[in-house]
Chain A
Amino acid sequence: MAKQSSLLNFFNRS
């Protein structure tokens, strides 16, 4: 089963 990734893995907090 594929796991849901988080947007925080892709975008930096600014």
Chain B
Amino acid sequence: MFEARLVQGALLKKVMEAIKELLNEASFDCAHSGILLQAMDNSHVSLVSLNLRREGFDKYRCDRNLVMGMNLSSMSKILKCASNDDIITMKAQDNADTVTFVFESPKQEKISDYEMKLTNLDQDHLGIPETEYSCVIKLPSAEFARICRDLSQFGESIVISCTKEGVKFSAAGDIGTANIKLAQTATVDKEEDAVMVDMQEPVTLTFACKYLNMFTKATPLSPQVCLSMSPDVPLVVEYKIEDIGHIRYYLAPRIGD
């Protein structure tokens, strides 16, 4: 028996918005410690890694490990039926071929359940090596979304360049060039407004706008985003999900000229 009850059901709705453009389907690996999802997009350029710890749920039960293959467009349709203040429970029997979503309104006057067929997915799992990143940049997530959106007008790629002075985002194309420089903030009233750069060595990498823009669909999950870069390895874009876990996106760089 698997059962996970999330009082902040809106978080699950936001998680779905953050992954459904990148992925058509994905396996939810449910275990005693929580729920994990790891899946690449169809072109093998990016990877989504989602971690929801059991402690983040107000009720969590997982008697035996369970892999639930879900069609994300179907799951998204179902989660759209939940109100933002609904409590959401996911449950499944062992070896079941369906999962049930239960939505409870805060005062319990409306309770809905939706049963969805599971699919068998034969997905590649990737071993992601532990990496000490040369540059770790924290910035407001809305600022990052704005930068990606603005620079996408200029070309298909964004160059991210991190030095001890700060971080520079650049794009170039037919209409011209664009550069956005963010300096590390000295003092801020709110921690979530800060730009922080932790740099061991300068790094410059180029990434496809299309994917960066899809990652920014996670913006409503967290006021801050963390970018980790090292020379010639995939970028990591991480959004914390309150006390419950995180969503990380890995993006292979564009290389050569």
Stretch touching chain A among B10-18, B44-52, B160-168, B185-193: B44-52
Given contacts A6-B45, A7-B40, A8-B44, contact A13 B252 (CB under 8 A): no
B44 touches A2 (CB 8 A): no
Task: Determine whether the beta carbon of B256 is less than 8 Å from that of A11.
Answer: no
From A1, which residue of chain B is reached at the shortest CB distance? B257
How far is it, in angstroms, between the C-alpha of A7 and the C-alpha of B46 when the chains are bound?
7
Residue with the highest number of chain B CB atoms closer than 10 Å, among A2, A4, A8, A9: A4
Interface size classification for chain A: 10 to 19
What separation, in Å, do the CA atoms of A2 and B206 have in the docked complex?
A: 8
Docked complex: B28-87 residues within 8 A CB-CB of A: 40, 43-47
Q: Say whether, besides A2-B157, A2-B206, A4-B45, A10 and B252 are in contact (CB < 8 Å).
A: yes
In the bound assembly, the distance between CA atoms of A14 and B234 in angstroms comes to: 18
Residues on B facing A (Cβ under 8 Å) = 40, 43-47, 124-129, 157, 206, 208, 233-234, 250, 252-257
Instruction: Write 29 A-B pairs (CB below 8 A) sorted by A numbering.
Output: A2-B157, A2-B255, A2-B256, A3-B255, A4-B208, A4-B254, A5-B253, A5-B255, A6-B44, A7-B40, A7-B45, A7-B46, A7-B47, A7-B126, A7-B234, A7-B250, A7-B252, A8-B44, A10-B234, A11-B126, A11-B128, A11-B250, A12-B127, A13-B124, A13-B125, A13-B126, A13-B127, A14-B125, A14-B127
